[in-house]
Amino acid sequence: MATVLIVDDEPPIVELVRFTLEDEHVRVLEAGNGLEALEVAFAERPDLIFLDVQLPRLNGFEVCRRLRLEPGLEKTRIVMLTAAGQAQDLARGRAAGADLYLTKPFSPLRLLTLVSSLLPEVPLWPER
């Protein structure tokens, strides 16, 4: 079973990810700030992390950079979440080690398509 960590301080975004992915194929973990994200990621070793850029306590770029330095997490897929996909944010995310960007708001279909492309064990059309 794939494990996905959603790191965002906006409950509607967390709920959208949980509702879309939480089934027999994906275990969804949550963190509401940057420090909590590191704690959960270090303890649980998720396969994929959705990481908001604007977080309390530690921003998403710094969290991403620290995750990339952690043995065993350097290959975890990281998708940065941003409300505005500005060129400087994209460059900072890449420099920190992010794999991709997803601009908010996003649809459940876009989310599921992205997860399926990054984690082959997650089917695009899960049976419910």
Supply the CATH number for residue 44's domain.
Answer: 3.40.50.2300
Decide if 123 is inside a domain: no
- Residue 75 has what pLDDT? 86
Predicted local confidence at residue 52, as pLDDT? 95
Question: pTM for this one?
Answer: 0.92
In a domain, 125, yes or no: no
3 state DSSP class of 30: strand
- The rounded average pLDDT for each run of 10 residues, N- to C-terminus, in the chain (128 residues) is 96 95 87 98 98 95 97 94 77 92 92 92 65
In a domain, 124, yes or no: no
User: Is 92 among the domain residues?
Assistant: yes
User: 49 lies in which domain range?
Assistant: 2-118
Site of tokens 């995310």: 93
Give a yes or no: residue 99 inside a domain.
yes
128 located within any domain: no
> What's the number of domains the chain is made of?
1
Q: What is the pLDDT of residue 120?
A: 84
Strand positions, DSSP E, 8-124: 26-31, 48-52, 77-82, 100-103
